[in-house]
Each structure stands twice: as C-alpha cells, then as structure tokens.
Amino acid sequence: HEALLSLKTQLRVTRIGTVRFKGGVPLESQDELTSILEQFNCVPIYIDPELHHAFFSTFCKQTLWPVFHNLLEIYGPVPTGQAAREAGNAFREGSRPEQDAWSAYTSVQRIFKKTIIEMYHDGDLIWIHGFHLLLLPTFLSRQLHMAKIGLFLHTPFPSSEIFRTLSKRDDLLRGMLSADQIGFHLYEYARHFLTCCRRILGLEWTHERNGINVHYGGRSVLITCIHAGMDQEVLHSVLQTQDVQRDINDLMRKTKDKTVFAGIDRMERLKGVPLKLLAFERFLEKNPTRAGNVVLYQISLAVRERGDDYSTTSAQVQALVNRINNKFGVNGEPVVIFDEVEETHLQLKHRLALLSVADVLLVTTVRDGLNRWPFEFVLAQAAMGGEGSEYLIKPPVPGVMVLSEFTSCTRVLQGALHINPWCIDEVAEALEDCMTMHPEERQKRLDMDLEYVTVNTTAAWCRQCLQDLKGVKKDSNHLKYVHHGFGLGQRVSAMDAGFHALDAGDVVKHFRN
C-alpha cells in the first residue's frame, strides 16, 4: 500500500481507506483531516474504535490471518487471568463472540460500500486490496451491476483443507467471486483458491485466451497471477535525501570492519525470527573466530493486534538475543543489535540505511505473502555500487540475499540463496557461504535480481492488473444482470438479455390453484 500511494500515474485515482490512528481520530478533527487528505486524492473512512477492534484485531487478525497463512490451531494455550474470564464469558448463554466479530466484519464492508458508491463515476474501475474486504464485491455488485470490480490478495491463499474450517467459508468465497477479477501474487495461491471453488461450491474453471476463468452464476471471473514489484525512481529519490545519506554514513562508521547481516520482520512467529537467531548462533558456534567480524542488525515491527503470538514471540526473541550476545559478544560489543519499533516508524526512509549498508539480507519466514523488502535491498545495493561509490567510508561489496523458500518473492528472485528456515544447519551454512562468496559471484547474483526488479515494477504490476480488469466484458446489450437470494446469500447472476424473472405473485396464485 505504501508503494501504491507513491505511485505516479496520469490516471484519475481516488484512494479510499481507513485512517490508522491509535484510539481513532477525534470527531472534531475529522473534517480537517478529510480536507487535508483530499489534496492527495485520498478519502478517509472513520470507523468507531470498538467496531474497528472487532473487525480488524478479532476477525481479520485472529480468525482470517492464521487461516490464510495455512495455520490451523485446534488446541490453543490454556487461558489465564483476563483471557480466562473472556473465555468463560464466551460460553455463557447469549454470548456470541464469533457472530459479533462476523457482524463487525460485514458492517465495515457496508461502510466502505457506501463511500465507494458516493465517489463512483460511470466507467470507473474499482480495485479492492486485501483479505479485510472479501465481502465488499458482493455489496457493491448489488447496486453497481455494470461496475468492473477487481480484488487482489496480498497474502497466501490456504489449501482447501484449511479454508474449509472457516464457518463462513461459503459467504467469503461467494463474496470474492462477486468481483470480476481476482489477483494473486503466485499461481500456487490461485491454485488453492480454484480448488476451494470446486470442492466447496462445486464450480468449474477453464483456461481461455485472457487467462483462467471461474464460471459462477452465468459470469466469468478472471484470475490474474502476477507478483508485485518496487519502483526504482521512488527508492532513489528517498535514498538521495540528506537524512538517509547521513544515516548511511553513520552506520558505515560503526560497521567499517564488519560483515553486516540484516533482518527486518514483523514480530510474529510465522516470520521465523527465533529461527533466524538460532541459525546465527549455530553459525557462530561453528565459526567462533568470526564473532568479532560480524554483526546482525535485526529490526522487528510490533504487531500487538496478534495478542499472545506477539508477546510470546517478542519474549523468545529477546531471550535469544541476550543469550547470543552473552556468549559471543567481543569486548562488550554485541554481535546482535536488536530493535523493536512501531510499524509507522519504519517507513522506506527508515529502512534504506540498513538495506544499503548490509552485506547480507536474511529472511527466515516460515509462511509469508508479499514481502517487498528484498526488492528494496536489491535496488539499494545496486545504487550503492554506482557512481561515486569509491568515495564511501566502507568499500561497497555487492549484497547477497538468503531467502526462505516459504516467501513469495523467492519464486522471482533467483539470485538469492534459497533455504529451508526449519533446517538450522542449512541456514548456518548459507551464512558461511555468504562470507566466503567471491565478489564476482555476488555481483552476478545481484545483477540477476536487479534485472527482474527494474522491469517488474509497481507501475508494471498495476498496469497489468488494471488492463486485465478493464478487459473484462460486461455486456448490457446481450446480458441481463439480476440479483437473487437473501442477506449475504444474495448474489448477482448474468442471464440472457431475453430473460424475464417469474412474478412471485403469479407463481403463488397458480400454485394454490
């Protein structure tokens, strides 16, 4: 989303979304903020903090997020304290925590629908992002029959065995299929989605000239598979600012004689930060003489909405950092420098210094969707080796990446070393390979990834997705769009133009006779 906001285009683009502000935006400040954001073609949606908590923290992050990352927890930890009281309340008569979270999810979809319809002009393309708004296509298509609606998921899509455990699986699938186009970063995610459509809804799909089409209610829903990228111009403009250059020089002075390993991850177990630290510890155990020549900079983003997952992972990481530094620290200097920050405090300008100076980017996630930081690393490293690099405090060495095979960018960044993060020894060996790799090989690997990153930009990704969406045929001359059903089961079907719905009154009258 950060890349989409910075995207420069000649198209008329209106961005609609919630305002991320702890505690919500005060009512008296909303008009002023709306006016300011209007200058950037952004339309804010203000959601009551209590409703937003039930929608985002409870349903999106506690229910959908684990499932979409193929995580199924049948037995969780025994709750204590406040968690125990909440768990007890869940079984009291009249208490419906799951239904309340679902109601909040659907309520937010309706709020978005209202704002989008107010801003919509005939011929506009509506492009929805993320698993947070899976039902929105359903609500929009009921009132905007001819609008072309796209939906892009930035997370993996789970296998049918995992997805079918959701109690609202049918509603979620039908909501997605109300869009005219659904996008995924990888085909394997789309394959899971297609399997769910067949096994849960009994739908079929075909390969046609424009791609894969799922046939649903007389309509064809196009499936687009294309990985998002990074815009070189945006990164270079930020990289050249005085603040970033100052941060780069400061970091170079601190690490002049050391090999810098870098990691940037969200603080949750699926990002594999404890596995990364265990692998780094194993690497130092096998190569104790390197302890004074290496340093691991690990920046983690606080994700408090993940509840116990966040707090447990944070405690594990801090314990491992202390253990490694106590064991391998040299002359009081730590070999692991760990910093935990809020997500809003780690924008592109804050990341670039570390990504530019790092010799190795280490990603050990065990399940991940879109991760654009490796793309930023490639562009930052290429810029460091460009004109004027001979004047740098620390002679530039082409950076190399060690990427988990479970993150989507591994499929497109072939110059990186690919590892199984669960195999600690394998990751430790990859770190040693980075230390001994010849500069020419490092440069070849960087060039291989640079070629992909510079061609497959955010702009190219947007262009392809929107071209696919624009190419969807919605013919009002030969098709008639009718909606039927009730509640969330109500959906739009495409019928022949000569179709006439039965009159309910006449049917009942003749049935009685």
298 vs 22, residue with greater confidence: 298
Residues 6+ apart with CB under 8 A from 169: 163, 196, 200
| 159-175 burial: b if 16+ Cβ within 10 Å, else e | ebebbeebebbebbbbb
- The span from the CA of 492 to the CA of 472, in Å, is 16
Q: What is the pLDDT, as a whole number, of residue 272?
A: 93
Mean pLDDT, rounded, for 3-8: 53
Residue 296 parent element (H or E): strand 294-302
Q: What is the pLDDT, as a whole number, of residue 474?
A: 75
Reported confidence tier of residue 388, pLDDT bands at 50, 70, 90: very low
Residue 466 φ then ψ, to 5°: -70, -30
Does residue 324 surpass a pLDDT of 90? Answer: yes
Reported confidence tier of residue 480, pLDDT bands at 50, 70, 90: low
Q: What is the pLDDT, as a whole number, of residue 212?
A: 94
Reported confidence tier of residue 85, pLDDT bands at 50, 70, 90: low
CB 131 within 8 A of CB 60: yes
294 has which bridge partners?
Answer: 259
Q: What is the pLDDT, as a whole number, of residue 83?
A: 47
Helix (H), strand (E), coil (C) string for 311-374: HHHHHHHHHHHHHHHHHHCECCECCEEEEEEEHHHCCHHHHHHHHHHCCEEEECCCCCCCCCHH
3-state SS, residue 499? coil
Does residue 357 surpass a pLDDT of 90? Answer: yes
501 vs 234, residue with greater confidence: 234
For the record, the structure tokens of 475 come out as 């013919």
- The span from the CA of 352 to the CA of 220, in Å, is 43
Does residue 497 surpass a pLDDT of 70? Answer: no
Q: What is the pLDDT, as a whole number, of residue 390?
A: 44
- The span from the CA of 61 to the CA of 314, in Å, is 17
Mean pLDDT, rounded, for 472-482: 64
Least confident range from 129-138, 217-226, 475-484: namely: 475-484
Average pLDDT value for the chain: 86
Q: Which fold has domain 232-455?
A: Rossmann fold (3.40.50)
Q: What is the pLDDT, as a whole number, of residue 481?
A: 60
Residue 198 φ then ψ, to 5°: -75, -45
3-state SS, residue 245? helix
Does residue 136 surpass a pLDDT of 70? Answer: yes
129 has which bridge partners?
Answer: 152
Q: What is the pLDDT, as a whole number, of residue 91?
A: 45
- The span from the CA of 381 to the CA of 400, in Å, is 9
462 secondary structure, DSSP code: H
CB atoms under 10 Å from CB of 150, counted, come to: 23
Asked whether this chain's domains 2-75+90-228+470-496 and 232-455 adopt the same fold, the reply is yes
Reported confidence tier of residue 79, pLDDT bands at 50, 70, 90: very low
From the list 130, 114, 7, the residue with the least C-alpha distance to 64 is 130
- Compute CA distances 265 → 59, 247, 298, 314, 352, whole Å: 23, 20, 8, 12, 15
- The span from the CA of 58 to the CA of 98, in Å, is 9
3-state SS, residue 113? helix
Q: What is the pLDDT, as a whole number, of residue 380?
A: 93
- The span from the CA of 221 to the CA of 184, in Å, is 13
Q: What is the pLDDT, as a whole number, of residue 342?
A: 85
Q: What is the pLDDT, as a whole number, of residue 495?
A: 58
3-state SS, residue 129? strand
Determine the distance from the C-alpha atom of residue 345 to the mean position of all C-alpha atoms in its chain, rounded to a whole number: 18
Does residue 93 surpass a pLDDT of 60? Answer: no
CB 229 within 8 A of CB 373: no
Q: What is the pLDDT, as a whole number, of residue 500?
A: 66
Domain ranges across the chain: 2-75+90-228+470-496, 232-455
Q: What is the pLDDT, as a whole number, of residue 469?
A: 95
Q: What is the pLDDT, as a whole number, of residue 305?
A: 75
Identity of the highest mean pLDDT range in 40-49, 93-102, 394-403, 478-487 = 40-49
Does residue 329 surpass a pLDDT of 80? Answer: yes
Q: What is the pLDDT, as a whole number, of residue 8?
A: 59
Mean pLDDT, rounded, for 318-337: 92
Q: What is the pLDDT, as a whole number, of residue 447?
A: 94
User: Tokens 């064991």, residue?
Assistant: 327
| Long-range CB contact pairs, 488-491, < 8 A, 24+ | 488/106, 488/135, 488/138, 488/171, 488/174, 488/175, 489/171, 489/174, 490/138, 490/142, 491/138, 491/141, 491/174, 491/178, 491/217
CATH number of 2-75+90-228+470-496: 3.40.50.2000
Mean pLDDT, rounded, for 311-322: 94
From the list 371, 364, 368, 436, the residue with the least C-alpha distance to 397 is 436
Helix (H), strand (E), coil (C) string for 163-232: HCCCCCHHHHHHHHHCCCEEEECCHHHHHHHHHHHHHHHCCEEEEECCEEEEEECCEEEEEEECCCCCCH
Mean pLDDT, rounded, for 8-29: 81
pTM of structure: 0.84
Q: What is the pLDDT, as a whole number, of residue 96?
A: 72
363 vs 476, residue with greater confidence: 363
- The span from the CA of 196 to the CA of 163, in Å, is 8
User: Tokens 């997500």, residue?
Assistant: 343
User: DSSP E strands: which ranges in 365-440?
Assistant: 400-404, 417-419
Reported confidence tier of residue 476, pLDDT bands at 50, 70, 90: low
Determine the residue type at 118.
E
Q: What is the pLDDT, as a whole number, of residue 318?
A: 95
Mean pLDDT, rounded, for 77-85: 48
Tally the residues of the chain.
513
The gap between the terminal CA atoms of the chain, to the nearest Å, is 60
417 has which bridge partners?
Answer: 402
CB 279 within 8 A of CB 324: no
Reported confidence tier of residue 84, pLDDT bands at 50, 70, 90: very low
Determine the residue type at 234.
V
